[in-house]
Chain A
């Protein structure tokens, strides 16, 4: 029973991080470290709640959230690629800016500080038949499965193929990993980067929509709780490889799902919350150490 609940909760909690991480890793393959995933998730969540309440359609809600995220990402990318802004500073700035704009809208138009509760918010549908809940171990998780989770995992397995075998994938990787080659091939690097940042925005917007519409059906200023940065940690740890990154996301989702239980076992949740970040630090150190070893061996 407990195992079933943990599995179901882990999968649900993984999805938003996973979506944002997939967007972020594509972006990084194109040579842009996107530190503003969190902003786009927050915007996606906000848009999703409003559209869902206004139209009664969950599909329109996530679509508009994704497009909104992509639009923010594209504009953000223009500032970096065309105006030469520093991607880290501008990314941190975008996080502050988006939080400010959303807070402003909430405050002014909805007369609320921090939380947006609307009537008639349509949540993401559970589409598998009810009897799946009776399947042992994974039954609960199956019965709670919604389209965005399926989409996220389909992306995980589609992306490696797309990156390796399509023209767009090749150009993207050339832009990020071998700019000289990209230039020689005549790739419009800046446009490729803009597209990859819009892609990251699209996926982060979906991630935000999932946060808002998977179960709670409302928007809160602290809704993302730094998940955009967890996603960043995930693709750094997974070295920009979709499947490896997805496994890391799953681990972070599991940590998130078991946090409350670990608390009753006497482990403070705040300290457990630092594990993803510490893992990345360790992974970075290890990678650096190996690089140095290789260098020493070569010289």
Chain B
């Protein structure tokens, strides 16, 4: 009885902690954005109200928000999988771009007669290549203690270089001119859910990925081991968990999820690969994972929040002249303050058994 109440108390304080953790960086970002808006003589409340209306006001706007959130579901999960095990993988961006190129490649090179089987083939190929891509830094970290932050960061630039070369050279579309591959076959395009909005079936795939991640993290032994390794390496080792194989596993899963995300974006959104394929989805995914504290519901909410910002930013610029860059300012502030430890938060944490 007493135990149950204590449990509830712990659960409540954890919930409180999580919601403060989610709200604080965003509150700072809103303050920063408000100050900037005041400087240029705009009423921040009007602007934020417009942004809310533009991101959730009508069915079309909601569809646009979810469409913008789609890649972030993948990159958020891909980041969270590694962060919760203490592997500081910042290479999701590169793996996402590589996955996008591979997905598009399958979509336009295989003969159109493959029909709808093109879609699973593209997803599988993208996931496999991206998994191999992040296997490399994972292996190096696990066996040679190569700093994963630097290796994955460097691999991002290698990914940009390789894909940039391919879309300007061997895979350049002959008809469309610059920096794009040919369009994928019609059968390889993911169906749109609510035309004319660009919301596509990739969003559903993203939801499945988020749910699968939640299930894996909470209900499977390997998910539990992953969390344990992140929590305390020495203890994990003592109870017989192989740290190298756990690290490699989470990096490979992160690669698979990134690759699926890239393929979904290529087949659903752009229907091809283009230079500048990702405007930083991998990095925004980090903000999403941090804001959501690696929790599946947190990731879903975080992705929708950043999706809303992105979709509202574009129309706010149209209607009120406020530069789209306000979105970057908010996102950057959230990232800077995402993992700030507040005195209050650490107090709550200390009380935990």
Contact = CB atoms under 8 A, between A and B. Distances in A.
Contact of A93 (B157, B326, B338): B338
B149 A88 contact: yes
Contact of B325 (A107, A232, A280): A107
B338 A89 contact: yes
Contacts of B283: 92, 96
A193 B337 CA distance: 19
Contacts of B161: 270-271, 273-274, 277
B317 to A, nearest CB: 9
Q: Which of A83, A101, A277 has the most CB of B within 10 A?
A: A277
Given A92-B286, A271-B162, A280-B154, A79 B337 contact: yes
Interface size class of B (residues with CB under 8 A): 35 or more
Contacts of A271: 161-162, 165
Given A96-B331, A284-B151, A104 B341 contact: no
B231 to A, nearest CB: 17
B153 A35 contact: yes
B118 interface: no
A100 B332 CA distance: 8
A271 B333 CA distance: 33
B48 to A, nearest CB: 16
Interface in A91-127: 92-104, 107-108
Contacts of A84: 339-341
Contacts of B155: 277, 281
B115 interface: no
Interface in B296-346: 322-341
B36 interface: yes
Interface stretch (A4-12, A210-218, A287-295): A287-295
Contacts of B168: 268, 270
A291 B90 CA distance: 24
B76 to A, nearest CB: 14
B323 A108 contact: yes
Contacts of B332: 93-100
A130 to B, nearest CB: 40
Nearest to B150: A236
B154 A93 contact: no
Interface string A261-283: 00000001011011001101100
Given A93-B336, A101-B36, 14 more contacts: A33-B149, A85-B338, A90-B339, A94-B332, A96-B283, A96-B328, A96-B332, A104-B36, A107-B325, A226-B157, A229-B157, A268-B169, A280-B150, A284-B150
15 contacts: A83-B341, A88-B149, A89-B335, A90-B339, A97-B331, A97-B332, A97-B335, A100-B326, A100-B327, A100-B328, A104-B36, A104-B325, A107-B325, A229-B157, A292-B144
